[in-house]
């Protein structure tokens, strides 16, 4: 199995969820072994996708280097990972990735418009060798060994529209588009004023977020999936785990996980050399383990 990038440069203009400002985003192909690189065109500053470059996890995953910041990267990264893209440059003329409709389906469409091509270098994956867990009271995130890439997530909210939800997702590009990509971010009406007071959620509305009042959902069209809330948590987790820099070969398990816990998990995993192995997908056994995953 080979590394992948996009075939053609593509661009889109949108609004950031938290800052609410217009932003133009361009996706560009990169050479083999380049990884995922963000570029602030207005500041002429590049930021590589690495756990050590994460500077904030309040309501979103934020990268930073010097004066440059890139916020709300998780939905886009989720789609990039879903298409098996190893090398890509993401150019932005402002600090936040466009929110689109609050899910990742718009990014999927953009990637398909660009096209995905194989490159002349073997793809690598990070295979989990022993469990690593991060806990915060009852909340936790964990990775453990597995022959497939699986995301197993549970949430429990007192809100009547959510309650307890659980979803177990065996990763593939095709299944991602069908089961995960259309799940939108969500928020509670009573939190909006507070979030805006600290400079967040300024671009959020019913077109890009599921909004809940005390008793139900304000979006007139309702939900896209029965378990849309927990499916969106999986969408976020896939994006956050992309900070590992290569596909995960293992099972991710979480109860009430967050961007903060996901970030701590990637750092803890990479700090323990006995917890993982970098495998080349030129190895036939490893290739067979992930070959099915990236079928379109």
Q: Is 18 annotated as ligand-binding?
A: no
User: Is 75 marked within a binding site?
Assistant: yes
Give me the catalytic one of 18, 81, 190, 259. Answer: 259
Has 259 been annotated as catalytic? yes
| 169 CB-near residues (< 8 Å, 6+ apart) | 150, 151, 152, 153, 175, 179, 180, 231, 234
Which amino acids are annotated catalytic?
Answer: 259
Annotated binding site: 75, 232, 236
- What are the binding residues for Zn(2+)? 75, 232, 236
């Amino acid at each position: 199995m080979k590394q992948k990038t996009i075939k053609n440069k593509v661009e889109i203009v949108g609004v950031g969820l938290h800052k609410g400002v217009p932003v133009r985003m361009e996706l560009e192909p990169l050479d083999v072994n380049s990884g995922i690189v963000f570029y602030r065109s207005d500041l002429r500053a590049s930021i590589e996708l690495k756990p050590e470059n994460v500077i904030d996890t309040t309501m979103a995953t934020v990268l930073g280097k010097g004066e440059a910041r890139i916020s709300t990267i998780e939905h886009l990264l989720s789609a990039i990972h879903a298409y098996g893209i190893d090398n890509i440059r993401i150019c932005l003329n402002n600090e936040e990735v466009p929110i689109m409709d609050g899910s990742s389906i718009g990014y999927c469409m953009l990637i398909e418009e660009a096209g995905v091509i194989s490159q002349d270098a073997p793809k690598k994956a990070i295979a989990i060798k022993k469990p690593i867990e991060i806990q915060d009271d009852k909340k936790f995130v964990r990775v453990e060994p597995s022959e497939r890439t699986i995301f197993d997530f549970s949430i429990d909210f007192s809100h009547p529209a959510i309650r307890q939800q659980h979803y177990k997702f065996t990763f593939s590009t095709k299944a991602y588009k069908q089961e995960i990509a259309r799940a939108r971010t969500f928020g509670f009406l009573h939190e909006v004023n507070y979030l805006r007071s600290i400079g967040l959620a300024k671009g959020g509305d019913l077109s890009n977020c599921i909004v809940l009042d005390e008793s139900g959902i304000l979006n007139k069209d309702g939900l896209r999936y029965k378990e849309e809330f927990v499916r969106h948590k999986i969408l976020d987790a896939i994006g956050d785990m992309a900070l590992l820099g290569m596909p995960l070969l293992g099972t991710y398990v979480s109860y009430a996980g967050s961007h903060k816990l996901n970030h701590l998990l990637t750092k803890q995993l990479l700090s323990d050399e006995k917890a993982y192995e970098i495998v080349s997908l030129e190895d036939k056994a490893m290739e067979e383990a992930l070959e099915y995953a990236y079928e379109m």
